[in-house]
Amino acid sequence: MTVRLTPEAEADLREIRGWYLERGASLAAEFVDSVAATLAQIERHPESFAVAHRALRRALLRQFPYCIFYLVESEGPVVVGCFHARRSPSAWQLRAGA
């Protein structure tokens, strides 16, 4: 199963990467690596991460205070967003239509 990202999720990741890039190229590269590793885990074991709300699952990034929120669909996992871990749940719940 291939992980798919919604346009909103892609925009989230670009924005966060840009924020880290302003603080240093190596930090932005570490963020990208962390996202790639987490997406690979989701792809291999989509149901191994905790359900955050209804069918929406949450995968925490290593070394960064962000979570990847996704749904497991018949065609594979669909990432709906990447949000700061301390952000209000209403933001990611709305994104998933919850």
H helix and E strand count, the chain = 3, 5
Residue type, 18: G
**Span 19-52, pLDDT tens digits:** 999 999 999 999 999 999 999 999 999 999 999 9
C-alpha span between 24 and 21 (Å, rounded)? 5
CATH number of the domain encompassing residue 8: 3.30.2310.20
CA-CA distances (angstroms) from residue 17 to 25, 72, 78?
Answer: 10, 25, 20
- How many domains is the chain built from? 1
Which stretches within 24-88 are classed as H helix?
Answer: 25-44
Whole-structure pTM value = 0.92
**Span 47-79, pLDDT tens digits:** 999 999 889 999 999 999 999 999 999 999 999
Q: CA Rg, the chain, in Å?
A: 13
Residue 59: per-residue pLDDT: 97
Query: Whole domain around residue 10: which residue ranges?
Result: 4-95
